[in-house]
Amino acid sequence: MYQIHFDKPIHVHFIGIGGISMSGLAEILLSEGFQVSGSDNQCSPLTEMLTEKGARISYGQRRDNITDDIDLVVYTSAIHPDNPEFLAVQEKGIASLTRAQLLGQMMRQYKTAIAISGTHGKTTTTAMISDILLQEDTNPTLSIGGILKSIGGNYRVGGSDFFVTEACEYTNSFLSFFPKIGIILNVQEDHLDFFKDLEDIRNSFHSFAKLLPEDGCLIINGEIEAYQELTEDVLCPVITFGIGEGYDYYAADITYDKTGKPSFLCCGPDGFRLPVTLGKPGIHNIANALPAIALSHYLGLKNDTVSAALSRFEGTDRRFDYKGEIGGVTIIDDYAHHPAEIDATLSAAARYPHKRLFCVFQPHTYSRTKAFLADFAKALSAAGHVVLADIYAARETDTLGISSRDLQKEIKALGCDCHYFPTFDEIENFLLENCTAGDLLITMGAGDVHKIGENLLGI
């Protein structure tokens, strides 16, 4: 495999440079003196930012974008084998890496690489850890799967001591990483268009854990069923966390304020005690904060720094994100697109001030919708009123014979009010006619459903 070195800058070309992750990697290489070029289908704020920093970007993917002076090409799993640039790379014999492989190579350039994995909560936990390290003034380099409000972006180029990144299990991409410290938040069924079953997913996380070196550390949710199977053959120390006693780090004395923001006492080894108040609502955010606290204690960071950063934590875009208010209706946007995530978000919403709760849900991918149809219905029925948009296909082309109407039938069968509309315009009109002052409206999903709330607010 091609090895990059920050002390030996080369010319790297990104196929699909405008993606949120690819653009961040390109920015880091630019800051290290690499020559960067790339292509994307259209201009965006991310590509404009890269152009300002010195990247050469072509719009439209063509064979002649692959010039002979390119040393390395980076691409994502979304690039098809018949992509003209990809074909040109193969014909010219230019070295290439996947996005995950490049990220793994870059992790080797840092003293302490920290990788946060799990089926849910990766972005929020990565953001919490990032804010703590920023508060401690460690000058970390950051790679986050969403826009972190405290830095106004998804990447931060810092020093060579700390590198913090999300580690996604989809297509086993995190097995290309080289972390020193790994975090496993949870392990549940998802991405069943790639994984065979839950056991296959567990095997993948076990392989991730075994990547950690002897002088590293694994921080794992002790509430994962038979978590010890995931830590077998791991060379490094293992630290557990969970809600309630029985783990190395645990939350006790949990209370909530009037907006659902929790306070708790984090208890740990050797009499460790840290009172914490979170800036974001929901018990799931306690589960996200515990590994961040455990990591901070392991690294020897100051307790005051940790509690201050978590209390000021504003979160990332699309994670229980307050968008605004219109006609007395509060609009929140959330990225939840798995039944467990929906359950966590609606549980947090239940503690948020409101008269009625409307949830506009856009299912994400046909395969996930079909695999979890009954689970989606059960989770969504916690809302008083559900409005469904069409399934967001993302990378998929086969409908598998499933549609949002099937989900509507399941939800109605549980006695929950549920409506389906094929267009955003129809959904917006329904909401304008039915939502009244005091109601809480949540737009939810991993696609473009956030546009509905933004259209209503005129932003």
Q: What's the pLDDT at 195?
A: 94
The more confident residue out of 298 and 244 is: 298
Which three-class secondary structure string do you get for 1-16? Answer: CCCCCCCCCCEEEEEC
From 27, 136, 166, 169, the catalytic residue:
166
- List b or e across 5-28, with b for residues whose CB sees 16 or more CB atoms inside 10 angstroms: ebeebbbbbbbbbbbbbbbbbbbb
Q: Distance between CA 50 and CA 56 in Å, rounded? A: 8
Q: Is 214 a catalytic residue?
A: no
Query: What pLDDT is stored for residue 2 in this prediction?
Result: 87
Out of 112, 122, 180, 410, the active site residue is 122
To the query of whether residue 122 is one of the catalytic residues in this protein, the response is yes
DSSP string, 182-229: EEE-------TTT-SSHHHHHHHHHHHHTTS-TTSEEEEETTSTTTHH
Task: For 163-208, write each residue's pLDDT tens digit.
Answer: 999 999 999 999 999 999 999 999 999 988 899 999 999 999 999 9
Query: Is residue 404 helix, strand or coil?
Result: helix
* 137/376 Cα distance (integer angstroms): 42
Residue 78 reports pLDDT greater than 90: no
CA distance 446 to 102: 25
* Angle CA 306–345–377, to nearest 5: 155
CA 292 – CA 286 distance, rounded (Å):
10
| Phi-psi sector, 137: left (phi>0), alpha (psi -120 to 50), beta | left
* Residue 1: band (very low, low, confident or very high) from pLDDT cuts 50, 70, 90: confident
Rg (CA), the chain: 22
395-445 pLDDT per residue, tens: 899 999 999 999 999 999 999 999 999 999 999 999 999 999 999 999 999
The yes-or-no answer on residue 91 being catalytic is no
Distances (CA, A) of 36 to 28, 83, 103, 228: 10, 20, 15, 43
- The CB density around residue 346, as the number of other CB atoms within 10 Å, is 21
HSE (side-chain half, CA atoms, 13 Å) at 353: 9
Q: Which two tokens stand for residue 256?
A: 């909530």
336 pLDDT higher than 90? yes
Query: DSSP state, 316?
Result: B
> Other CB atoms closer than 10 Å to residue 228's CB: what's the count?
11
pLDDT above 90 (res 147)? no
Active-site position among 112, 123, 231, 365: 123
The predicted pLDDT at position 163 comes to: 97
Query: pLDDT tens digits for 91-141?
Result: 999 999 999 999 999 999 999 999 999 999 999 999 999 999 999 999 999
pLDDT tens-digit map of 26-56: 999 999 999 999 999 999 988 999 999 999 9
User: pLDDT: is 194 or 251 the higher one?
Assistant: 251
Query: Could you read off the pLDDT of 337-360 as tens digits, one per residue?
Result: 999 999 999 999 999 999 999 999
β 141-148/153-156 pair status: antiparallel
Specify the amino acid at residue 176: S
315-329: per-residue pLDDT in tens? 788 888 999 999 999
Question: Nearest CA to 105 among 32, 46, 55?
Answer: 32
pLDDT band for 237, please (50, 70, 90 cuts). Answer: very high
Give the pLDDT band (50/70/90) at residue 219. Answer: very high
pLDDT in tens, 262-320: 999 999 999 999 999 999 999 999 999 999 999 999 999 999 999 999 999 987 888 88
The pLDDT value recorded for residue 311 is: 95
Q: Tell me, what's the pLDDT at 15?
A: 97
